[in-house]
A and B are shown apart, each in its own frame.
Chain A
């Protein structure tokens, strides 16, 4: 119930295309859903995040779509660029004493020029 399932494991997209990464969770107590971007040899960087009372959030080329009833959320990268090539992790967190993040398994995105 603590797991966050992420797919696909890897993704190849042409420059200018749309990259879509999906995540699903079980624990309805989760109340914060961030996406992180990680380049090789670096720590994850917060990309965008959403709370379950919102169905969509957009920041620049990045959009989170959230389906509370299905317990699913996804990241859409519009007009994908080679510089977007990285590993993307979804995560989920619930409030409480620890505020621990539960990470998905990651998606390696390659945007071809």
Chain B
């Protein structure tokens, strides 16, 4: 149980392109989803928290106009990197959790984004 699917697993595109990454909870309803960015050999950096039906909350220093997050349903959240630049190249990982005390976050397998 508690499977989170992330798609695509890898994307390569040119500078200026907008890229959409999907995060789905397959066997549970996720009231909250999180988006992380991870640089090589580094820890996960939280970018934003999204709750179903409301606007995402972005961490300090994360450009909300660059990284658009939509959490339209209890099983789907999307991250759109707008006008992607080479410095946006990274490993993006989503997680999902249900509401409740000490409910764990379950992670997707990440998306490797490479901007040429």
Contact = CB atoms under 8 A, between A and B. Distances in A.
Nearest to A9: B41
B107 A49 contact: no
Interface in A72-102: 89, 93, 95, 98-101
Nearest to B108: A43
In which size bucket is the chain A interface?
20 to 34
A105 B43 contact: yes
A98 to B, nearest CB: 5
A39 B6 CA distance: 16
Interface stretch (B12-20, B65-73, B82-90, B95-103): B95-103
A49 B107 CA distance: 15
Given A45-B107, A101-B46, 16 more contacts: A31-B102, A34-B104, A43-B107, A44-B93, A46-B104, A49-B102, A89-B43, A98-B49, A98-B57, A99-B103, A100-B46, A100-B49, A103-B43, A104-B43, A105-B42, A106-B42
